[in-house]
Amino acid sequence: MLNPVATAKHMGLTGPPPPTSQYSENIMVTRLPCIGRIHFVKDKGGMMSLGFVVLYWIYGTWCSLTVILLPHWRDGQTSDFMIFLFCLCSIMCISSLIRVSTLNPGRVPLISEESSFGIDYSHWELCPKCNRKRPPRAHHCRRCQQCVLRMDHHCPWINNCVGEENHWAFMQLLFWAFCLGSMAFLACQLHFWYYPPCVTCNKDTFYIKHSIWFNYLLTVLAVFMMLFQAGGLLGQYFNISMDINGESRTCALRIGNTYLQSFDNKYMPKEEGRYHQ
């Protein structure tokens, strides 16, 4: 959730933070017991992508545990620690996915000049998409129909924007997804090359009888997961270390500059030796 103090300071509040926040029609905001306020983007494509990711996680977790690890654990061929480590990665992965997909990424409240709540607009700029004022380094998301503070990109796989207030959660998701993919790939390789055939397995069970095909598919999915998340982690780490983001990259390509060249001041003015939007 947004930190009221930090957000108020970033947005140039001269008085107390606004008592309420307003969001576009594409954003559903609700409060759940013991969880707090959650945000959800009403986008069909994003919801389908998020559902696919959840199915991806379900298949990977089920196949790794039911088809590979637990049968070999019952035969005494794998350790309790291996089971615990895989379950930890799986739980943390789905928890991070739920967290980042329901966090407010830092959406700029849809406030008018009549209800400014004491916000100092002097350093704000006008968004050409929604014709509302926004703080520096905020960008408009066409999926959310709202500007987001230090927006990196809108990720359809989490059905949410990645911005100032949930970038840390997105990094956590990339890390735990990479760990889960690595554990699934390791389980497949142990099953193919190290573990002996399962003794206690019922060979007539469907998923045991056809386990080779389940494991082939799991291997492909695990490799794709590792490579995709490793690339995402490296890219995000590089962006954070250079104080730039995905929108910065888009602006650079739009004006014909390479990734690390000096950007046009209209898109990325320099201040104190660092790149800014």
User: Is 155 among the residues known to form the active site?
Assistant: yes
Report the Cα–Cα distance between both ends of the chain, in Å, rounded: 24
Q: Which of 63, 93, 155, 161 is catalytic?
A: 155
Whether 160 contacts 173, CB under 8 Å: no
Whether 102 contacts 40, CB under 8 Å: yes
**Cβ neighbours of residue 20 under 8 Å, at least 6 residues apart?**
none
Cα distance between residue 95 and residue 110, in whole Å: 30
Beta bridge partners of 41: 27
118: left (phi over 0), alpha (psi -120 to 50) or beta: left
**Cβ neighbours of residue 16 under 8 Å, at least 6 residues apart?**
8, 118
Whether 161 contacts 26, CB under 8 Å: no
Cα distance between residue 208 and residue 68, in whole Å: 9
Whether 169 contacts 96, CB under 8 Å: yes
SS3 for 152?
coil
- Residue matched to tokens 């998701």: 173
**Cβ neighbours of residue 63 under 8 Å, at least 6 residues apart?**
184, 214, 215, 217, 218
Hey, which residues are catalytic here? 155
